[in-house]
């Protein structure tokens, strides 16, 4: 007996094109390899960021702790 129910479709996260959600689409959730590679490139270029709360430690330097401060006054050679 054939299953005639409509297949679910999803919008490509890159271009918005509607595509049938199927295991036959090797690029899912993207519609094509092109859209998948554009998204991968955006991640590699750090265009996407996960939001977080900044803390004081985000802006502190390792030279601000007492142990590291001792080394700042010594010559390198």
CATH of the domain at 38: 3.30.50.10
Q: Residue 2 domain-assigned?
A: no
Q: Residue 51 domain-assigned?
A: yes
| pLDDT band of 12, cuts 50, 70, 90 | very high
Q: % helix / strand / coil in the chain, to the nearest 5?
A: 30, 10, 60
pLDDT in tens, 15-33: 999 998 888 889 999 999 9
Whether the predicted model's global pTM rises above the 0.75 cut? no
Rounded CA separation 30/43 (Å): 15
* Number of structural domains in the chain: 1
Q: Residue 13 domain-assigned?
A: yes
Q: Residue 23 domain-assigned?
A: yes
Q: Residue 55 domain-assigned?
A: yes
| pLDDT band of 50, cuts 50, 70, 90 | confident
Q: Residue 1 domain-assigned?
A: no
Residue 1 has pLDDT above 80, yes or no: no
| pLDDT band of 4, cuts 50, 70, 90 | confident
Range of the domain at 21: 9-72
């Amino acid at each position: 007996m054939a299953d005639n129910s409509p297949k679910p479709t999803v919008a490509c996260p890159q271009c918005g094109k509607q595509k049938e959600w199927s295991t036959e689409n090797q690029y899912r959730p993207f519609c094509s390899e092109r859209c998948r590679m554009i998204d991968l490139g955006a991640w590699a270029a750090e265009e996407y960021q996960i939001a977080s709360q900044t803390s004081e430690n985000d802006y502190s330097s390792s030279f601000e702790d007492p142990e590291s401060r001792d080394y700042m006054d010594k010559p390198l050679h």
